[in-house]
């Protein structure tokens, strides 16, 4: 009994032997579809990946390698924040408590750079970690010399005298 060989279906940029122009065009089409999905999903990467069939790793590769794509993604994230901010403003103006909590949560998670934080995050220039130099006047041990054991402390032969009762005078 012979087994049938199943052919793998290759699409888009993965088409074997396809000219480079076709691969680049296919990738450009996928990126455009992904950008539309990001707009519809308020810049939620997982939803955009599901909507377009693009893997998360592919998305992060595009983000790292394509500056124009990365800039468009940042724009979409800002548009999503603007949308939620405007909805929050409308809810506050109409005194509707309905979705205010969820919107505030969204802004605290996604819009820290606009001041929606409960705590101050301290960092170095450009958000990099701060570097501290610890200066101490305590002498450092000299590890270049062999370690010498300290003599063991001996217990006193007699226990110390018990404290006397304080005297009170009237």
Encode the chain (170 residues) as per-residue pLDDT tens digits.
Answer: 555 555 444 444 455 566 788 888 889 999 999 999 999 999 999 999 999 999 999 999 999 999 999 999 999 999 998 998 888 777 766 766 666 777 777 788 778 888 877 766 677 777 788 777 777 777 777 777 776 666 666 666 676 666 666 665 65
Task: Count the domains in the chain.
Answer: 1
d(CA 155, CA 1): 89
Nearest CA-CA partner of 44 in 86, 91, 94, 106: 106
In a domain, 59, yes or no: yes
Q: Which of 84, 82, 80, 33 is nearest to 59 (CA)?
A: 33
What is the percentage of the chain residues whose pLDDT exceeds 90? Answer: 32
For residues 34 and 40, give the distance between their C-alpha atoms in angstroms, rounded to a whole number: 10
How high is the pLDDT of residue 149? 63
Question: What pLDDT score does 13 carry?
Answer: 45
CA-based nearest residue to 76, from 46, 41, 102: 41
- The answer as to whether 7 is a domain residue is no
| Residue 103 structural domain | 19-118
Q: Rounded to whole angstroms, how far apart are CA atoms 119 and 167?
A: 55
In a domain, 12, yes or no: no
Average pLDDT value for the chain: 78
Name the token pair of 152. Answer: 């063991």
User: Does 167 map to a domain?
Assistant: no
pLDDT at 8: 44
Residue 137 maps to a domain: no
Reduce the DSSP state of residue 91 to 3 states and report it.
Answer: helix
Burial category of 72 from C-beta neighbours within 10 Å (exposed 0-12, middle 13-18, buried 19 and up): middle
């Amino acid at each position: 009994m012979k087994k049938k060989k199943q052919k793998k279906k290759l699409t888009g940029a993965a088409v074997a032997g396809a000219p480079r122009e076709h691969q680049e065009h296919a990738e450009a089409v996928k990126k455009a579809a992904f950008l539309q999905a990001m707009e519809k999903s308020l810049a939620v990467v997982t939803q955009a990946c599901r909507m377009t069939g693009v893997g998360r790793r592919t998305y992060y590769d595009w983000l790292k390698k394509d500056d124009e794509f990365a800039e468009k993604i940042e724009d979409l994230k800002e548009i999503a924040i603007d949308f939620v901010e405007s909805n929050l403003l409308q809810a506050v103006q109409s005194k509707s408590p309905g979705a205010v909590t969820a919107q505030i949560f969204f802004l605290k998670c996604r819009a820290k750079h606009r001041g929606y934080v409960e705590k101050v995050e301290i960092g170095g220039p450009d958000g990099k970690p701060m570097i501290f130099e610890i200066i101490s006047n305590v002498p450092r041990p000299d590890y270049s010399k062999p370690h010498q054991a300290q003599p063991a402390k001996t217990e006193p032969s007699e226990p110390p005298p018990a404290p006397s009762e304080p005297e009170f005078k009237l």
